[in-house]
Structure 1
Amino acid sequence: MGSCISISLQFNIDSCGANCFGFISGRARYVYKLEENLDALNTALEELKDEKNDLVRRVNIAEQQQLKRLDKVQRWISRAEAMETEASALILRRSQEIGRLCLCGYCSKSYKSSYDYGKTVYEKLAEVTDLRGKGRFEVVAEREPIAPVIEIPVEATVGLESLFGEVWRDLSDENVRTIGLYGMGGVGKTTLLKKINNGFLDTPNSKCHVIWVVVSKDHNLEKIQNDIGEKTGYCDDTWKSRNIQQKAEDIYKFLSKKKFVLLLDDIWERIDLGKIGLPLPNRQNGSKVVFTTRSKEVCFEMEADKKVEVMCLSWDKSWELFREKVGEEALNVHPDIPDLAQVVAKECDGLPLALITIGRAMACKRTPQEWRYAIHVLTNSASEFPVMGDEVFPLLKFSYDNLANEKLRSCFLYCALFPEDWEIKRDDLINYWMCEGFLDEHADINGLQGQGYTIIGSLLYACLLEESSEGSNHVKMHDVIRDMALWIARGCGKAGNRVLVKTSALSVEWLKIEKLEEVERISLMRNRIQNLAGSPTCPNLLTLLLHGNHLCQISKGFFEFMPKLTVLDLSHNTFLTYLP
């Protein structure tokens, strides 16, 4: 029995000694393998840096293609950067720690310090090796989820609330697939479309993919496709290099599975939505197309189910907008200014573009004299008001430039010869055009009248003329459009003046001081001129309109130096009894 106990005890002592030796030798390994582990750590660290740099390059290439790096990739890169810092700090201590070793590296002058350092190096080597193993990514980035609606900045609006409500109701009508918003330039069509876009931000359950595209005058299908592509995730250089048909197939594939609202801003002619790749809106897919245009004709060409005219503001809303842009401080600096400001605002005739632009320009005017001068300029020669010739008229001129031919452009400019707010009788206008030779001279009278009515229709559809409150036999021209037409006729602010239009004239004495060599048309309609005296030199004058004056007498030599005069209108001068 005693021998059994002796054998068992000896076994336990031997086993314990072996375990202790293994434990001690394992701890010693951190010291005597320190140099080997440091070399391995240095190599592993360099390889980690290379792998991280390769991964960052892949990520950068993906991000250039508008892809978003994966979160797990970013976490690995961040961990690798931290690991570089930690491992490099350990390696920097190498010479100091190696210097403490003795007995061929099997012992240390400061054993605890060498042990702690060696253990940290060993563990860091294991961490680097493990991190490298986790850094193999087949996919480093993916397309960012497309936001169904992207907010577009828009200033607070005045006077668009009811129109916005009308269009918003139309968007809920399953029978309305395409909506055309038309109106003259600067009236607020783009602002309304922006409000419609942002309206979908407040209806998160609509499940609509809203796509905003600015088309503009010189559009092409490929540009529209690229803009749609950016809103649908097809936006890398590879996709942009595909041809129109391939892009159309991709767009169709994406949108055919979604309910979408396509918002097209500023279109000037029919756009073939099928060629772009757009699934045509219908009751089944619930999709919609809304566009803005300056031409009512485009609404018909686009087969709009609903045509909504965006009109100028009422006087109350005009004054509200103008006050907002001028600011209460400027309006209240002198008691005369509010009344003068109303006169200036009325010159804008309800056009938001003019109200905003002129309002901002007048915000710094602090004296009644400055306001009276502004009224004088706007009334007599609006193009000389700085912001009109620089900002307002060039924007409005796009409508003029887009007219189909020179005949239409000439007929449009002729309308500016009539006084401001004049209700122009259609037949009278056509007769003027006939006399000027604007219409086809080979047509008979019925053909000429038909051609004239067609031109008037084109100008109405282009929102360059307006329907008259007098009825269908009359048309009128918006005040700011008229000012723009006169600006064009006078060379767009450049040298040269082919047209003179005067209001509130009592005589023609001013003709003696005007430079009339280049003038081709003079309009003195609805003035209070009683006598035509003198012999003004007008070598290129073609047209002289004196309708509705108080003429009593015309001197014998008045027309002597007007060799090219073709159209002379002396109608509605009831006191004129004879001609020279």
Structure 2
Amino acid sequence: MVHTDRYLAEIWNYIQADEVGWIGVYGMGGVGKTTIMKEIYNRLTEAKKNRERFDNVFWVTVSKASNVEKLQGDIAKGIGFKTLSEEQDVTRRAGILFDALKERKRFVLILDDLWTSFPLEEIGIPNLTKDNGCKLILTTSVLVDVKIQKIAKECDGLPLALVTDGAALRNVNKEDGQNALMALGGFAANVEGMEDKVFSRLRFSYDRLKDDATRLCFLYSALYPEDCDIYTKQLIEYWMWEGLLGDEGRIKDQICKGEMILNYLKDSCLLESAGEFRGFEYVKMHDLIRDMAIEITKTSPRCMIRAGVGLDYPPLEEEWIEDVERI
């Protein structure tokens, strides 16, 4: 369970720190990133002392299928700048948006639900330096091309990480600003207002996986028992033997593809690292993520999953589902 007060305090401290230029809040869909950031936004806009610290605070919900042009449009709309739509050239749009943001002086720009990495200069976001005091905060469910250096500190198993470099934000002045990333690896099912939306948000993360092969590999992982540490080499071999990695190419190539899919699922927070034992890597699936996967397998592909419940005999014939593909 994510302790929201603790993460609120962590993010708030980063916002107040002069040396921090941008903050990323990273975790699977449904973990409560938007809920936490809405509280941060309310604090920034309501507190008098924070209005004195920052001249403007903007909230931008990013379009799901976003590219540079769409993201520029989302930001322009979020900051109340209407004339950007008159310009079609992406580079000139970046220059116009850059000037518009500079006019907002010491701003906080919150980008909620970013799925693709973009260089700041291509979008038109000014450098985030100690001198100008501007902040960029983003939430994301997929860690794309971001290299992180783990800090030796954990909060109930949820790592606090510091971003040292990232393709999405390569133009940050490293002398003046640090980049901070909060990794919310657990699940906050009890965050107020989230209960009715949990499964739809988790399903959204599943639907946004890059292809059917990746989705099938993810669903296959739910065949393991709840809370099971899954040996990654074995998992990839099972994917391969089941034909989930395709029928063409050498075994070595298929294993390489399996490793790429495994890393992608971890970056998407649908699988999480379970550490190493005697030099072998393990992953696991969060209970609620597994519940969501099992729900999907009731329709397509059809699976019966009874792993880890202590069966002495196979399920009775009348319990079997029609057109079952895996048991």
TM-score bracket for the superposition, by shorter chain length: 0.7 to 0.9
Letter in 1 for 2:168: M
Aligned letter for 2:229? E
Q: Secondary structure at the match of 2:28?
A: coil
Q: What amino acid is aligned across from residue 256 of structure 1 in structure 2? A: K
Equivalent in the alignment of 1:302? 168
Query: Structure 1 pair 189/263, CA: closer, same or farther in 2 (3 Å)?
Result: same
Q: Superposed, which structure 2 residues align to 1:36-435 within 5 Å?
A: 159-201=3-45, 202=47, 203-235=50-82, 239=83, 241-245=85-89, 247-257=93-103, 258-297=105-144, 299=146, 300-303=166-169, 305-312=179-186, 350-352=188-190, 356-357=194-195, 391-435=197-241
More deviation in 440-449 or 259-268? 440-449
RMSD: 2.9
Paired residues of 2:63 and 2:71 also in contact (CA < 8 A): no
2:304 maps to which of 483, 500, 506: 500
Structure 1 distance, partners of 2:130, 2:52, is 19
Q: Name the CA distance, whole Å, in 2 between partners of 1:277 and 1:252.
A: 4
C-alpha displacement at 1:456, in angstroms? 1.4
Q: 1:208 to 1:443 in 2, by over 3 A?
A: farther
1:444 Cα deviation after fit: 4.3
1:476 to 278, 284, 296: 284
- Displacement of 1:291: 0.4
Residue pairs, 1:438-453, within 5 angstroms: 438-439=244-245, 441-453=247-259
Pair 427,282 (structure 1): closer, same or farther in 2 beyond 3 Å: same
Is 1:467 the equivalent of 2:273? yes
Aligned partner of 2:189: which letter? Answer: L
The offset of 1:445, in angstroms, is: 4.6
What is the CA deviation profile of residues 49-89 of structure 1, one whole-angstrom value per residue up to 9, with x for unaligned ones?
xxxxxxxxxxxxxxxxxxxxxxxxxxxxxxxxxxxxxxxxx
CA offsets, 1:288-335, max 9 Å, x none? 21100111236444248222102336xxxxxxxxxxxxxxxxxxxxxx
TM-superposed deviation, 1:516: 4.5
Matched residue SS, 1:513: helix
In structure 1, the residue matched to 2:160 is none
Partner of 1:54: none
- Once the two structures are superposed, what CA deviation does each residue of 1:516-543 show, in whole Å capped at 9, x if it has no partner? 5411100xxxxxxxxxxxxxxxxxxxxx
- The answer for the alignment partner of 1:120 in structure 2 is none
Distance in 2 of aligned mates of 1:456 and 1:429: 9
Q: Deviations over 1:119-162 (max 9, x none)?
A: xxxxxxxxxxxxxxxxxxxxxxxxxxxxxxxxxxxxxxx82222
C-alpha contact 2:66 2:116 (8 A) present in aligned 1: no
Tell me if structure 2 keeps the 8 A contact 1:213–1:224: no
**Structure 1 stretch displaced more, 246-255 or 512-521:** 246-255
Report the alpha carbon displacement of residue 452 of structure 1 after superposing the two structures with TM: 2.4
Confirm or deny: 8 A CA contact 2:275 2:281 kept in the other structure: no
| TM-aligned CA distance change 1:241 to 1:290, over 3 Å | closer
In structure 1, C-alpha distance between the alignment counterparts of 2:34 and 2:266, rounded to whole Å? 20
Q: CA deviation at 1:226?
A: 4.3
Task: Give the superposition deviation at 1:469.
Answer: 5.5
After superposition, the Cα gap between the structure-2 partners of 1:443 and 1:452, relative to the gap in structure 1 and judged at 3 Å, is same
Deviates more, 1:416-425 or 1:196-205: 196-205
Aligned CA distance change for structure 1 residues 509 and 181 (closer, same or farther; 3 Å): closer
Greater percentage in strand: 2
Equivalent residues of 2:63, 2:70 under 8 A apart: no
CA contact (8 A) 1:268 1:298 kept: no
Q: With the length of structure 1 as denominator, give the TM-score of the two structures.
A: 0.45
- 8 Å CA contact 1:295, 1:463 repeated in 2: yes
Identity %: 37
Q: Return the letter of the residue paired with 1:277.
A: G
Distance, in Å, in 1 between the alignment partners of 2:241 and 2:96 is 56
Structure 2 CA distance for aligned equivalents of residues 168 and 220 of structure 1: 29
Per-residue Cα deviation, 1:428-466 (whole angstroms, up to 9, x for no partner) = 111211211223555545444333222211111000001
Distance 1:454 1:229, change over 3 A: closer
| Mapped contact 1:215–1:265 kept (Cα < 8 A) | yes
Structure 1: which 5+ residue stretches go unaligned?
A: 1-157, 314-349, 358-386, 523-580
Against the structure 1 CA distance between its residues 513 and 233, is the aligned structure 2 distance closer, same or farther, given a 3 Å change threshold?
closer
Q: Distance in 2 between matches of 1:409 and 1:473?
A: 21
Deviation, structure 1 residue 233: 4.0
Structure 1 residues 297, 248: closer, same or farther in 2, change over 3 A? closer
1:213 aligned counterpart, secondary structure? strand
SS at match of 2:144: helix
Q: Which residue of the partner structure matches residue 293 of structure 2?
A: 485
Tell me by how many angstroms 1:230 deviates: 4.3
Residues paired across the two proteins, number: 289
Change (3 A) 1:223 1:443: closer
Letter in 1 for 2:186: C
Uncovered stretches (5+) of structure 2, i.e. residues with no partner: 147-165, 171-178
Question: What secondary structure does 1:487 align onto?
Answer: helix
- The match for 1:455 among 242, 261, 264 is 261
Match for residue 159 of structure 2? none
**Structure-1 separation of matches of 2:77 and 2:240:** 52
1:467 deviation in Å? 1.5
CA distance in 2, matches of 1:220, 1:287: 23
Query: Is residue 326 of structure 2 the alignment partner of residue 518 of structure 1?
Result: no
Q: Quick one: distance in 1 between partners of 2:276 and 2:285?
A: 13
Q: Deviations over 1:363-406 (max 9, x none)?
A: xxxxxxxxxxxxxxxxxxxxxxxx6xxx4333212211222222
Q: 1:233 to 1:351 in 2, by over 3 A?
A: closer
More helix by share: 1
